[in-house]
């Protein structure tokens, strides 16, 4: 017994070193996913852990670390300004862009939206990340002509840059009772799991695709 204890003590530094090496190796191979969004992804007026991005993090852990860089009120211009430093700090393998709603509510010209989002996609791709761009849909009160031009920006960009176009995560149930807050824009806690379910297969496919 004494000799066995002595042997364990003698081997302990080597065993500890191996454990640390294996832990570092696992961390090195973990992927990072960055979500760039606005209040729809920032769990507006809700506990952060109930938001769809937090649910995504739970579903992808521990293989993928999810970074939620969403800010309520964010525009495509603001996202473009913040993205370079976020790419540098987090070195994400996947970037999900969920921006444009606030641009539409402020009647930003669709060409400006396209320019901002296009540059964001190019920056993320240049860093080696896979990119998912979510289709954004606007309230009908903004007028059919503007909405058509605005919403057509997303499939055009997805085709031009060869990136995945994710479906708008509220489209199938936003008109159901209890899905939106009193403002008619922001999703409730009950809507968050449905939002997660609508995009999870698409994001899972991106995570599984090797970076080029």
pLDDT at 15 over 90: no
- Rounded to an integer, the average pLDDT of 33-38 is 98
Question: Do the domain assignments include residue 4?
Answer: no
pLDDT of residue 9: 56
Domain of 42? 31-208
- Annotated catalytic residue, options 162, 175, 182, 183: 183
Question: Do the domain assignments include residue 2?
Answer: no
**Separation between Cα atoms, residue 189 and residue 159, nearest integer Å:** 33
Q: How many domains does the chain have?
A: 1
pLDDT at 19 over 50: no
Per-residue model confidence as pLDDT tens digits over 100-132: 999 999 999 999 999 999 999 999 999 999 999
Question: Do the domain assignments include residue 5?
Answer: no
DSSP E strands, the chain: 31-37, 64-68, 94-98, 130-134, 164-166
- Annotated catalytic residue, options 39, 41, 114, 118: 39
- Domain with 200 in it: what CATH number? 3.40.50.1110
pLDDT of residue 128: 97
- Rounded to an integer, the average pLDDT of 186-204 is 97
Per-residue model confidence as pLDDT tens digits over 141-183: 999 999 999 999 999 999 999 999 999 999 998 889 999 999 9
pLDDT of residue 210: 74
Question: Do the domain assignments include residue 75?
Answer: yes
Contact present, 81 and 151 (Cβ < 8 Å): no
Active site residue 183: yes
Question: Do the domain assignments include residue 175?
Answer: yes
Active site residue 31: no
- Annotated catalytic residue, options 103, 118, 186, 198: 186
Active site residue 109: no
Strand order in the sheet with 64-68: 64-68, 31-37, 94-98, 130-134, 164-166
DSSP E strands, 79-192: 94-98, 130-134, 164-166
Question: Do the domain assignments include residue 98?
Answer: yes
Question: Do the domain assignments include residue 1?
Answer: no
pLDDT of residue 189: 97
pLDDT at 49 over 50: yes
Question: Do the domain assignments include residue 21?
Answer: no
pLDDT at 20 over 50: no
């Amino acid at each position: 017994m004494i000799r066995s204890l002595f042997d364990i003590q003698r081997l302990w530094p080597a065993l500890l070193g191996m454990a640390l090496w294996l832990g570092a190796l696992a961390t090195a191979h973990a992927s990072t996913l960055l979500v760039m969004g606005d209040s729809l992804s920032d769990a507006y007026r809700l506990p952060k852990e109930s938001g769809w991005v937090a649910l995504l993090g739970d579903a992808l852990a521990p293989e993928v670390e999810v970074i939620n860089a969403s800010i309520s009120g964010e525009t495509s211009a603001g996202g473009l300004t913040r993205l370079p430093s976020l790419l540098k700090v987090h070195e994400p393998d996947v970037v999900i862009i969920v921006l444009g709603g606030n641009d539409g509510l402020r009647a930003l010209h669709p060409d400006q939206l396209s320019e901002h989002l296009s540059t964001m996609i190019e920056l993320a791709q240049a860093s080696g990340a896979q990119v998912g761009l979510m289709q954004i849909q606007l309230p009908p009160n903004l007028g059919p002509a503007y909405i058509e031009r605005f919403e057509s920006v997303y499939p055009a960009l997805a085709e031009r840059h060869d990136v995945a176009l994710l479906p708008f995560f509220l489209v199938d149930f936003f008109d159901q009772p209890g899905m939106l807050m009193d403002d008619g824009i922001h999703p409730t806690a009950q809507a968050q799991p449905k939002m997660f379910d609508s995009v999870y297969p698409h994001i899972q496919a991106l995570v599984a695709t090797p970076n080029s």
